């Protein structure tokens, strides 16, 4: 589906549902409220475009459900992880003292942050459910730094539209738009269920985005890139780029 026809789909929809007279007004609304999803894989069909637009209109500021401590899954589910390579093993052997998170791209002050530094920033915790697209889920408590805090510290530029996060250990990357990047429940987690985030659960640092499916919560992240487009950043495997729940 071309960019033009995706735009037309949304603007026609807005004009019809909101009773907006004139497609030009609807087009301005779609632009203002960021309703046209990016098209990293070149395959963003009408269904997905409408899902994204509807979610953005209805749930821009909504919160993912939080659970009570007694609802935490026991024992916490963790997927087995394949080898993460020699460099990761070296960092792990050193207790991740040499590990760094780099923050780069459309930012005023690129940064390279140790775990110790991340832990001095304001922290946020959440008891939320991780939902895999394959049909299983678990509830856990995660603690970390809100991504919004990092973006503020490095001075994300106003033209920025997306945040890409990279797991150099196994090549599983993710990206989100600014609405999700700035959302208070989007956190870079270093702790889980009262302890450090184990390597088995994605340590030393894992993105947690409870408003989207589990595959957007990328484990072992060590690079964050702020950008205004996703052209060089393909979506997660064959999965849909936007996975709102
Ligand atoms: N780096 C990395 N992150 C990843 C994955 C992966 O294979 N590698 N799998 C994703 C998928 S599909 C899901 S459902 C969750 C699983 O999280 P868990 O291992 O805590 O159960 O992690 C996501 N994050
Ligand atoms: Mo998954």
Kindly give, in sequence order, each residue whose CB lies less than 8 Å from that of residue 149, ignoring residues fewer than 6 positions away: 121, 122
Element (H, E) at 126: strand 124-131
Which has the higher per-residue pLDDT, 79 or 84?
84
Element (H, E) at 195: strand 195-196
Kindly give, in sequence order, each residue whose CB lies less than 8 Å from that of residue 51, ignoring residues fewer than 6 positions away: 242, 244
pLDDT at position 84 is: 79
Q: Average per-residue pLDDT in the chain?
A: 86
CA dist 59 and 55 (Å) reads 5
178-201 average pLDDT score: 95
Which has the minimum average pLDDT: 33-47, 91-105, 173-187? 33-47
> Domains (ranges, CATH) in the chain?
3-59 (no CATH), 69-227 (3.90.420.10)
CA dist 192 and 72 (Å) reads 11
Question: Using a 6 Å cutoff on CB, does residue 60 contact ligand 1?
Answer: no
- Give the pLDDT band of residue 46 (cuts 50, 70, 90): low
Which has the minimum average pLDDT: 57-61, 115-119, 215-219, 228-232? 57-61
> From the CA of 174, which ligand is nearest?
1
Element (H, E) at 130: strand 124-131
- Give the pLDDT band of residue 243 (cuts 50, 70, 90): confident
Q: Provide the Cα torsion 66, 176, 80, 64; round to 10°.
A: 10
Cα–Cα–Cα angle for 219, 220, 224, nearest 5°?
95
pLDDT at position 3 is: 63
46-64 average pLDDT score: 75
- Could you give the strand order of the β-sheet that contains 162-166, starting from the edge strand earlier in sequence? 111-113, 101-105, 223-227, 162-166, 174-177
Q: Partners of 112 in the beta sheet?
A: 102
pLDDT at position 75 is: 74
Cα–Cα–Cα angle for 185, 98, 207, nearest 5°?
15
30-40 average pLDDT score: 67
Give the closest residue (by CA) to ligand 1 atom 21. Answer: 78
pLDDT at position 102 is: 98
Question: Using a 6 Å cutoff on CB, does residue 208 contact ligand 1?
Answer: no
CA dist 194 and 69 (Å) reads 11
Question: Using a 6 Å cutoff on CB, does residue 79 contact ligand 1?
Answer: yes
DSSP designation for 96: T
Strand, helix or coil at 125?
strand
Question: Using a 6 Å cutoff on CB, does residue 219 contact ligand 1?
Answer: yes
Minimum-distance ligand 1 atom for the alpha carbon of 79: 19
- The pairing of strands 195-196 and 162-166 is unpaired
- Give the pLDDT band of residue 20 (cuts 50, 70, 90): low
53-76 average pLDDT score: 84
């Amino acid at each position: 589906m071309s960019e033009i026809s995706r735009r037309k789909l949304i603007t026609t929809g807005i004009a019809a549902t909101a009773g907006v007279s004139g497609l030009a007004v609807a087009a301005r609304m779609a632009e203002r409220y960021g309703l046209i999803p990016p098209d990293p894989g070149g395959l963003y069909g009408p269904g997905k475009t409408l899902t994204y637009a509807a979610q953005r209109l209805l749930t821009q500021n909504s919160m993912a459900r939080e659970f009570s401590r007694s609802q935490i899954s026991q024992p916490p589910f963790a997927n087995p992880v394949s080898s993460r390579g020699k460099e990761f093993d070296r960092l792990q052997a050193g207790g991740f003292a040499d590990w760094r998170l780099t923050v780069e791209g459309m930012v005023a002050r690129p940064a390279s942050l140790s775990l110790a530094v991340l832990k001095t920033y304001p922290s946020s915790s959440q008891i939320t459910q991780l939902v895999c697209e394959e049909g299983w889920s678990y509830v856990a408590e995660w603690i970390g730094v809100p991504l919004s805090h990092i973006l503020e510290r490095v001075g994300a530029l106003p033209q920025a539209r997306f945040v890409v996060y990279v797991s150099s250990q196994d090549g599983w990357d993710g990206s989100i738009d600014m609405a999700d990047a700035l959302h208070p429940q989007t956190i870079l987690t270093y702790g889980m269920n009262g302890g450090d985030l184990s390597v088995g659960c994605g340590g030393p640092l894992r993105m947690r985005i409870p408003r989207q499916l589990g595959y957007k919560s990328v484990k072992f992240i060590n690079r964050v890139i702020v950008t205004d487009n996703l052209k060089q950043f393909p979506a997660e495997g064959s999965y849909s780029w936007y996975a709102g729940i």
